[in-house]
Chain A
Amino acid sequence: MPTVLERLNHALHHALETDPRVHLLGEDILDPYGGAFKVTRGLSTDFPDRVHTTPISEAAIVGVANGMALRGLRPVAEIMFGDFVTLAADQLVNHAAKFRWMYNDNVRVPLVVRTPMGGRRGYGPTHSQSLEKFFLGVPGLKVVAPNTLGDPADLLAAAIAADDPVLFIEHKLLYTRPLLEAGVGDLRDMQIETAGGPYPAHLLRFTPHSHLTIATYGYNFELARQAALDLLYEHEIFAEIVLFSQLSPFNIDPLLESVQRTGRLLTVDEGTLSLGWGAEVISRIVERSNDLSRYYVSRVAALDLPIANSKALEDEILPSQEKITEAAIELYHEEGASHQSSR
């Protein structure tokens, strides 16, 4: 199976080939280097007029892309590391996300900002974060994260074709991962249901009678999937996974349906725990539930600390398969009044 990186590269190539309005902008994206993570490799060779290498100017990269989008082009901007998206926050929040609604639907902003997030490559505190939480819940801005289950090329193609801005979060560790194949390998014993629009949510389960639900997205699905296999084969606990592709705004229904069956929800993401993605997901479940005593919830996320450079520390700070397994076992044994624990 192709890797996530190959699929993203393919989607960009295809978009450039089929739509003359598509332009790419970013730092160091020209060949032979082809971008810090090589997602744009080969593109400047094939489309030299529409692949623009930029100065180190994240605010202007997204700002220029905004202007291009307002005036009939379909720019795809790359922010070299997701950590640097803070420099473009004003462009995303106060410009791109606002224009359409603020101008009473007079305009469209078909902008994609792609950026790699996430740790475990030993890059330390400023090159390892998952900062998407700061951009969730911004009206007018979609946040999408690919994974190894759906085809990342489809997600990126949909984002480029969309008329509204999309922040596209690519976890660094996904790039070299091959796409999964239904009925093969890890998925051998899992049934998969996919629901909802261009950025779907996937439900993966071994049985209709799962003991608990794990909600996750992006790379952390890799960890959650390993944990689910481990829970089944080592602990006889059936965990089903709801894997989101669209983080914001998002539809809770696929997850709600699952949690209504299992009664237990574990959220897994790599942003810092406090006020993070899991908190909103759990709130939505709770809001939609009339019998709170039926639900047990827990979160696995990054510790509320910068991400250390040393692997020994980084491993402690970020989610891992072991932490997910442990949290799931605890959640499985939870009884009595509903409460929330976290690790």
Chain B
Amino acid sequence: MLDNQSLYKTMLRIRRFEERALAEFSTGKLFGTTHAYIGQEADAAGIFAAADPGDVVFSNHRCHGHFIAYGGDPYRLAAELMGKATGLVGGRGGSQHIQWRNFYSNGIQGGIVPVAAGMALAEKVQNTGKVALVFTGDGTLGEGVFYESLNIASLWKLPVVFVVENNRYAQTTPVELALSGSICGRFAAFDIPAWERDTTDVLEVRAAAAEAVGYARAQTGPVGLILRTYRFAAHSKGDDVRAPSEIAAFKDKDPLTVHAPRLGDDERARIEAEVAAEIEEAFTRAASDPFPMMKDEK
């Protein structure tokens, strides 16, 4: 089990990565768009502290934090964001479409959910003992295929962990305008046990994730993991319509702030320096890498 320092480092690595990525748009090294995970770091850090390294992951548009917590290399991700040949998928996918080991992501809301269920089925029939984790947001609960997937996962007892990161917004739309009923109730309707936490404390997330993932693995069946969180950055780049006062009110829930007191000042300073160097190295190295060339396609 990861110690407090490791959890802090993972969260900080995500934070600094995302800050740097956003900054690199103004330098012209990044182009297009990206969805920063800033504020939600406890989710990824806690979940991947509880999952097995071999588990299968399908992530969404906001995938950088998931990828880094999964153990992915920030340099390969930075290179992908810059469209470099050395990127995770050679510059073909970019921010939302990455693949490495058992980690996959796609930028279509909802469509990844049945795919993850199918992955869980494949792991189940091949007796690998792996579970599939799929990441969605509150807004993605508007997609019908999400419920088709809950239904099938429950009927067929598929070991899939449906993670819902409820950051209270879908792009600009507050959850109150997009979501009726309760998220928990959605899982209950399909007889899928769900763990819901309103927390940005990585230890609480890890504890809930350990129960949920453990249950999915032990029972070979689906579970829900609903995490109430908040994102501090804009949805993608410049599309924030929230009042600054609202964002400010969540600042004391910053997962780094919540977890920091569990480390000594020296430890934090050391981790801060290590992560800063790592991120600097990742982006500098990626920046000097070559761009991809078209391959001959048949």
Contact = CB atoms under 8 A, between A and B. Distances in A.
A73 B120 CA distance: 11
Interface residues of B, number: 38
A57 B151 contact: yes
Contacts of B122: 67-68, 70-73
B216 interface: no
Interface stretch (B2-10, B37-45, B103-111, B198-206): B103-111
Given A73-B125, A102-B89, A67 B118 contact: yes
- Size class of A's contact patch? 20 to 34
A67 B126 contact: no
B160 to A, nearest CB: 9
A3 interface: no
A9 interface: no
B77 interface: no
Given A60-B148, A103-B97, A94 B108 contact: yes
Interface string B109-137: 00111111111111101100000100000
Contacts of B207: none
B92 interface: yes
B144 A65 contact: no
Contacts of A86: none
Interface in A73-113: 73, 75, 90-91, 94-95, 98-99, 101-104, 106-107
A54 interface: yes
A234 B132 CA distance: 64
B247 to A, nearest CB: 32
B155 interface: yes
Contacts of B116: 67
Contacts of B88: 104
Contact of A104 (B93, B106, B115): B93
Contacts of B72: none
Contacts of B120: 67
B145 A60 contact: yes
Nearest to A249: B298
Interface string A209-240: 00000000000000000000000000000000
B106 A95 contact: yes
Contacts of A303: none
Contacts of A101: 92
B111 A95 contact: yes
B250 interface: no
A55 B151 contact: yes
Chain A to chain B: the 10 pairs with minimum beta-carbon distance, closest first: A67-B118, A63-B114, A71-B122, A60-B148, A64-B118, A103-B99, A57-B148, A67-B119, A104-B89, A104-B90
Interface of A: 23, 49, 52, 54-55, 57, 59-60, 62-73, 75, 90-91, 94-95, 98-99, 101-104, 106-107
18 contacts: A52-B156, A54-B152, A57-B152, A62-B114, A64-B114, A67-B122, A68-B118, A70-B104, A70-B122, A72-B122, A94-B108, A95-B112, A99-B104, A101-B92, A102-B92, A103-B93, A103-B99, A107-B104
Given A63-B148, A67-B120, A90-B145, 11 more contacts: A59-B148, A60-B117, A63-B145, A67-B132, A70-B104, A70-B122, A75-B118, A95-B106, A102-B93, A104-B89, A107-B104
